[in-house]
Structure 1
Amino acid sequence: MVSTEAAVVIDSFVPSTVPASVAAAAAAVAVVVEVEAIKTTESMLTNLNQQSILDFDKGDPTMYEAYWKSIGEDFKITISASEALSYFANPKSFCWFMLPKLEQEIRNLHNVVGNAVVEGRHIVVGNGSSQLIQAALYALAEPLDPSSPISVMSAAPFYSCYPQIAHYMRSGLFKWGGDAHAYDRDDQPYIEMVNCPNNPDGELRGPVVNKANGMLVHDLAYYWPQYTAITKPVDHNIMLFTMSKCTGHAGSRIGWAIVKDSHVAKQMVKFLEISTIGVSKEAQLRAISILEMISTNSCSTNFFEFGQFVMAGRWKTLREALEGTDILQVPNFPPRHCNFKRNYIECNPAYAWMKAQEGINLEEVMKEENIRVRGGGTFGCPSNYARLSILGRDNDFDQFLKKLPSIVKRLAHSKF
């Protein structure tokens, strides 16, 4: 149907002597133009609506863009078309797809920071820590050839992706077993994921179950000086780290495991062989340059000092904005001595684990303010909890702080 305005335009431009077929064609064109105009308007409104939503759900580490932009082109990597053609990086190594230089730089970085024991340990590189979690679960469960899937668990609040990772392949080897606090079996093997500092609440934690048949995987993605005090070099059977949260290069998809047992390390490599035939050499080459730059402190500004400065500033302003109200709370962390900083520092976790009054759905309240967060239910907790990422860009965080009084007011008047 042609609108009245479109019909007037057609009538004014089509003389009476023009054949009816031509006039009909002109009318059809007008209809198309009108429909496209409506679609364009709707698209613009949709885009405006999307732009107004502040996304604090995902831990996308874009706060580090400012640092790496300040570095400029000094550490640009160029790879020729003739490089890195082969599947193999080091055929003599059990982790045959890992570049020897990357293994060296991983060991160097941990020795500089002092957050993990690497001497006499095996390094396995993977496509981010998510793949390495799957590889670790496979490596621990497969040799047992269980008659029923082994329970994988973590203490609530647990990282929200652990259940997804354990369920995703619907494996006969393992399954998600829920909150580790509720596990009461003494006769069955289990795997406990120990996340330290914990995502979402930032707590430094150890295993909860502590039974004879247990196997542990320590997820240490946030055990870096910008998030927490480095109190000691940890030394566990399987320790997982990732470029994403260490340097901010989430898009490179580089993670690594530090593994004590050679058989477990080889089984993890087997999983990586089957799933992706290794890890991109381009990503490894980029990681080599970045890790070397950090461990040698080749930049004018120390990377970890930058990260600690930004995180400390954001937590300070967040606490100041919430001062004087108990309607919305975030955890407090006592200062700890950091061996890397050689001083007492406050912990500044990557996420704010927010708590509202019981009965309130904090995720929904935030959504009403056009703020996307991750609700407590996905972490094994009630709906009055939610996780807010502190890792985004400055402008987004500033906008959130401006909205905070409105959020607190809305929570104060929420019915529950």
Structure 2
Amino acid sequence: MNVKTLQTSILVVLFHCSFINAEVEEAQPVIYLQPNTTQLFTELYQAYGLQSPPKRTFFESALYLDQSTPPSILPLQPSNAVIFDHADQVLSQFHARVKDLELYIDPSKPKPFFYTATGSKHLIVALVFAIVKSEPDTKFAFAEQVPYYSGHPNAVTGIFDYPNARFIAFENPSEIKLEPDEELVEIVTSPNNPDGKFREPQTDAEIIMADFVFASSAFGRDGTGYVDQNIEWLRKARANGKHVFSFNSASKQFGKTGARCGYMWYPLYDEYAALIFKKFYNFISCSTVAGSSTGLADFLDLIKAFIDLSDTGISLRKDAHESLISRHELVEKELLTRYPGSTVISIPGSPTLFAKINDPRIPNERASDVILKDLNVAVNNGEPMGETNDFVRLNLSGYSILIAQFLNRLAGENKYTEQDVLTLSTHQCAHSTICSNGSSQTEHFVNPGDCNIEVDASKGPITVWLPKFFDYLKSEVVTIQKIDSSENPVVIKSDSFIRPLEHNHQNIKVQWTQPDYSHGHWNVIE
């Protein structure tokens, strides 16, 4: 082979290798860091034995949650009143224990009306609807300091075309220019989404909507959720006669988005709140009838499990906060290395990272599109949050494995693991014993959060089913062991395999995995 032929062969090989490498890079699945969901809590509940808390709340699922008795919208039917009273009692007890009940209830006023909706976003839309529709001849300006949660302006201008309402984004309250006879409503989120900072009212608005979905010790710079600071400004606002509507959700600070449970203690004692209540109530009743009774029941089971803990979950929320601190610091470090000159706006302890990206392709391209092209990672662009599309917001509260993969793509090497972005001060392994009931066949279905399962088949055969854990990226390693000496079989079944346990102390270790939200399956750990 002559030199020219050798050079040509080398070039062909190099090109082929480069093509293969490019294909491998293109084959990387998209990491979605857009939705502001908090699977971090799924991992923490798994470690703390709270993934499947005892089922103690049972609501009749054939009922609507808010059927009122005609002709008035109140009182509720007795069945609904019982459910709401129970939810009120459980959540009031929890929030009193963690010393933040005053975020939602003015202790100097009569008992408010507890009510739920299909998430906090539903409450936001309902409040805007009630304010605007109750006084159709009054103009309203809903104002919020940037950056803000994108759902707030959508509630004002993105769903209904209100002729008497507009949304104002401001950096400094001096920028707000009201029209004659226009009523100002300020929206305050604290800790703020997307930057995690403390917020308090910046204007003298008479109506305040207070979004406290991140107001827990898991979030904020100092791991307090700014609860004391928030209560301080709330006391002043209430004392000055402001009309305050505050609310929370099962989604963000509890990681139970699927429960679809936003909740608030509606201040019916407030004259203005009473004026708009019918529109508020009717909007929720006509759209989704106050949410899901089964979702509310599952959420209350978690809250009851927290109440049973001596620290009401303080250590779990501390682990969440420390995890968010490390995630923010590591992502900030790698992001600034990958995109020098960028500016991170958010603070450690924020549920999301919010940053202005420096790259020569911007502003011809959105920063979110640049990151998608470079890393195959989907993030939010900044425009819906009141900034330019030079900004991005990315979720830091998701699964640890996805945050670690994102960090590795930023760094260009595999240097991070789940352990780098997840703090666990405990790891409790749930233990259960399954006994045959003497019938021809006993069946048991493994639950999320199961860890050790002992099976006693002395009175008859037992089948242990491994159902699909849809959208759980990874379960605990589940050890299933036969603990009797009978000849009755214990059979482990999944969609892809069947394994018998025939002898005393014989066991099998299995784990559910669903990488990148593709098709999941159970694996046998040999």
TM-score tier by shorter-chain length is 0.7 to 0.9
- Of 216, 230, 250, 2:208 maps to 216
Q: Which residue of 2 aligns with 1:348?
A: 349
User: Deviation per CA, 1:340-372, whole angstroms, max 9, x where unpaired?
Assistant: xxxxxxx50101111223855421221112111
Greater shift in the superposed pair: 59-68 or 69-78: 69-78
Scaled by the length of structure 2, the TM-score of the pair is 0.58
1-structure distance, mates of 2:124, 2:115: 12
Q: Identity of aligned pairs, percent?
A: 16
Q: Which residue of 2 aligns with 1:252?
A: 259
Kept in 1: contact 2:66–2:285 (CA 8 A): no
CA displacement at 1:283 relative to structure 2: 1.1
Q: Which residue of 1 aligns with 2:327?
A: 314
CA displacement at 1:332 relative to structure 2: 6.4
Q: CA RMSD in A?
A: 3.3
User: Deviation per CA, 1:170-189, whole angstroms, max 9, x where unpaired?
Assistant: 24475442314442116311
Q: Comparing both structures, which one devotes a greater share of its residues to strand? A: 2
Q: Which residue of 2 aligns with 1:109?
A: 94
For the pair 1:381 / 2:387, whether they are aligned, the reply is: yes
Matches within 5 A, 1:9-408: 52-70=29-47, 71=49, 75-77=53-55, 83-87=60-64, 94=75, 97=80, 98-117=83-102, 118=105, 119=107, 120-146=111-137, 150-172=140-162, 175-180=165-170, 181=173, 182-185=175-178, 187-211=181-205, 214-228=206-220, 229=224, 230-232=226-228, 234=231, 235=234, 237-262=244-269, 263=274, 264-265=276-277, 267-297=279-309, 302-321=315-334, 327-331=341-345, 333=347, 348-357=349-358, 359-360=362-363, 361-368=366-373, 369-405=375-411
Gaps of at least 5 residues in structure 2 are 1-22, 239-243, 414-526
2-structure distance, mates of 1:90, 1:105: 22
CA displacement at 1:306 relative to structure 2: 3.0
2-structure distance, mates of 1:89, 1:379: 33
Kept in 2: contact 1:122–1:265 (CA 8 A): no
1-structure distance, mates of 2:140, 2:350: 31
Q: Comparing both structures, which one devotes a greater share of its residues to helix? A: 1
Kept in 2: contact 1:152–1:174 (CA 8 A): no
Aligned length: 344
1-structure distance, mates of 2:51, 2:214: 28
Q: Which residue of 1 aligns with 2:470?
A: none
CA displacement at 1:162 relative to structure 2: 2.0
- Aligned letter for 1:363? S
User: Deviation per CA, 1:101-149, whole angstroms, max 9, x where unpaired?
Assistant: 21112212221222341344432211100110011112323332326x5
CA displacement at 1:401 relative to structure 2: 1.0
2-structure distance, mates of 1:60, 1:73: 16
Scaled by the length of structure 1, the TM-score of the pair is 0.72
CA 1:90–1:102: 2 relative to 1, 3 Å: farther
CA 1:52–1:247: 2 relative to 1, 3 Å: same
2-structure distance, mates of 1:222, 1:116: 14
2-structure distance, mates of 1:128, 1:224: 17
Higher RCO (C-alpha under 8 Å, 6+ residues apart): 1
2-structure distance, mates of 1:127, 1:252: 8
2-structure distance, mates of 1:94, 1:380: 41
Q: Which residue of 2 aligns with 1:7?
A: none
SS of alignment partner, residue 192 of structure 1:
strand
